[in-house]
Chains A and B, each alone.
Chain A
């Protein structure tokens, strides 16, 4: 399977706290993306980091990438109840056309 692994599987935090989730993958990549999914809905793209980048920021999101360890992390700062969702990393397995999703982290932000 091309699928990556994410941890933790589930994360519950208080509003205002930071949330960190990790993704490990198996093959070489061109880029790694993070998506968010509200229950039973489609996925929404959050941020993309290329294989030659180590860190990227977008608003309250910070993504890091360590290609030597084949891992990435997503940090959401100052979390809000509206951030409650599942978060998935996705890699292209070096193909540029096929995108495979990690196992996901279910985040609950308690108001």
Chain B
């Protein structure tokens, strides 16, 4: 199984809502990533988890809250988002002995 599964595929939320994005992989990868991608732009690194611990936070606003409950699962909790947070949110994983990233298909988020 070489898949990274992200749910939901699409999400529409209001600025006062709380929602969560989910990412799952069963490749035994111990590094997991969240990226944000606006239309026609490159993915921007948000968070890196290594062995279930947050190792990198790229100065992301606190309305985005990551969580890694176990080695297969990565969540991104969203609260009080702004319309400019509308984007494709991509999860990726990596074997720590290999630099290759495996990406999910992303969650297309719209904040109204």
Residue among B56, B106, B108 making CB contact with A97, cutoff 8 Å:
B56
Task: Mark interface residues in A53-95 (1 if CB within 8 Å of B CB, else 0).
Answer: 0000000000000000000000000000000000010101000
Residues of B within 8 A of A108 (CB): none
Interface size, A (range)? 20 to 34
The distance in angstroms between the C-alpha atoms of A66 and B90, with both chains bound, is 30
Q: Are A43 and B56 in contact (CB under 8 A)?
A: no
Q: Are B45 and A43 in contact (CB under 8 A)?
A: no
Interface size, B (range)? 20 to 34
Count A-B contacts at CB 8 Å.
Answer: 59
Residues of A within 8 A of B41 (CB): 103-104
Residue among B44, B90, B99, B108 making CB contact with A43, cutoff 8 Å:
B90
Q: Are B100 and A33 in contact (CB under 8 A)?
A: yes
Q: Are B100 and A42 in contact (CB under 8 A)?
A: no
B55 at the interface (CB under 8 A from A): yes
The distance in angstroms between the C-alpha atoms of A25 and B34, with both chains bound, is 22
Q: Are A42 and B4 in contact (CB under 8 A)?
A: yes
B positions within 8 Å CB-CB of A: 4, 31, 33, 40-45, 48, 50, 55-56, 88, 90, 92, 99-106, 108
Question: What are 24 A-B contacts with C-beta separation under 8 Å?
Answer: A2-B45, A3-B42, A30-B99, A31-B99, A33-B99, A35-B101, A40-B88, A40-B106, A40-B108, A42-B90, A42-B103, A42-B106, A44-B103, A97-B50, A98-B45, A98-B48, A98-B56, A99-B33, A99-B45, A99-B101, A101-B44, A103-B41, A103-B42, A104-B42
A positions within 8 Å CB-CB of B: 2-3, 30-31, 33, 35, 40-45, 48, 88, 90, 92, 96-104, 106
Given A42-B92, A45-B102, A90-B101, 5 more A-B residue pairs with CB atoms under 8 Å apart are A33-B99, A33-B101, A40-B88, A43-B92, A103-B42
